[in-house]
Amino acid sequence: MKVKLIIALMLGCTISIKAQQSNTSNHNRGRFQLGDVTTDPGVRDPCMAKEGDTYYVYFTGGGIQVWASKDMKTWTKLPSVFSVPPAWVAQKLPSFRGLGFWAPDLSYHNGQWYLYYATSIFGKNTSVIGVATNKTLDPKSKDYKWVDGGMVMQSVTGRDDWNAIDPNLAIDENGTPWLSFGSHWNGLKMVKLNPDLKTVAEPQEWYTIASRPRDYKYTDPEPGNGEIEAPFVFKKGDYYYLFASWDACCSGPKSTYNIRVGRSKKITGPYLDKDGADMAKGGGTLVLGGDPGPEKTFYARGHNSVETFDGVDYVAYHAYTTTYERLGINKLNWVDGWPVAEK
């Protein structure tokens, strides 16, 4: 689908990250063997990519934060994507302040990188998805410059039963671009884009690709229960795999976040889990979640991206420990056509 492991850009000095020491019990709990979960940076909603010999992770907050690594173990802090917000954001969201951009999605097409991102009035589906482009991810290059591409779409409370955050771009077997997105409300959606990768194709047709039972009406100002968010579509063999996150994030040890998956031979679905249940009707096979039992290292895992680097598939996500969100990366194997995170 795309090359995506990109940990956030921030302004400031270089910081090295020492991975927590591993042992047998830690590996049994699912820590990736590239260096275990990071002690820093603390990330939320990581997207990973590779350019040349360097891995990048982009993530939520601080104008879209970015870190870089040569080995996925030791990370260096880079400049954020935005030091000031694009002017159109305040026009669409008059109460928007600061640099609180969320859930970046990065991929390379047409000779440049496309970075999709979202921002919102927290707890409401008054949200926007924007896009920026760059010829390179290397801030030392003379070609390095993020160019604002404007708003791709917007959701409006009381009008829409979906939420325009957590974007993910996927290209189908015919070369057609599709954007999946969504958080809570009436589930995860998908819509076709124009070849410019910046505008929604006409006539607009919105597909529901995943949802969960909930006690929500689209006129409600709050998202309700039955949490689902963060779609990510990954092509493997004959199938498109839809990864999504269930349950509650953002509460440290009280988080219940977990990653689910289904697959389809059509990019628009239906995405069925291992038991044949449709993800649009509450289906989804567990990929990763919190550690079982009372002795926990990870309380929850969620908001993942999946990428292929040098012929190896990886899943990146944020994990909740006793402190705050940490970056986790596992190699991803495939057993009988289904993804299994390497322990």
Q: Map the chain to HEC letters.
A: CCCCEEEEECCCCCCCCCECCCCHHHHHCCCCCCCCCECCCCCCCCEEEEECCEEEEEECCCCCEEEEECCCCCEEEECCCCCCCCHHHHHHCCCCCCCCCEEEEEEEECCEEEEEEEEECCCCCCEEEEEEEECCCCCCCCCCCCEEEEEEEEECCCCCCCCCCCCEEEECCCCCEEEEECECCCCEEEEEECCCCCCECCCCCCEEEECCCCCCCCCCCCCCCCCEEEEEEEEECCEEEEEEEECCCCCHHHCCCEEEEEEECCCCCCCECCCCCEHHHCCCEEEECCCCCCCCCCCEEEEEEEEEECCEEEEEEEEECCCCEEEEEEEEEEECCEEEECC
Say yes or no to pLDDT of 288 above 70.
yes
Alpha-carbon gap, residue 111 to 33, rounded angstroms: 33
For the chain, the straight-line distance linking the first and the last C-alpha, in angstroms and rounded, comes to: 23
- What are the angstrom distances between the C-alpha of 336 and each of 72, 237, 260, 274, 339? 28, 12, 17, 10, 9
78: containing domain: 5-341
Alpha-carbon gap, residue 301 to 289, rounded angstroms: 5
* pLDDT tens-digit readout, 37-88: 455 667 899 999 999 999 999 999 999 999 999 988 888 899 999 999 999 9
As a whole number, mean pLDDT of residues 327-335 equals 94
Alpha-carbon gap, residue 188 to 303, rounded angstroms: 13
Tell me which residues are annotated as active site: 45, 229
Rg (CA), the chain: 18
Give the total number of structural domains in the chain: 1
Q: 0.85 cut: is pTM over it?
A: yes
* pLDDT tens-digit readout, 292-307: 888 888 899 999 999 9
List the CATH number of the domain containing 200.
2.115.10.20
Alpha-carbon gap, residue 337 to 231, rounded angstroms: 19
Banded model confidence at residue 15, pLDDT cuts 50, 70, 90? very low
Percent of the chain with pLDDT over 70: 85
As a whole number, mean pLDDT of residues 275-281 equals 97
**pLDDT (0 to 100) of residue 89:** 94
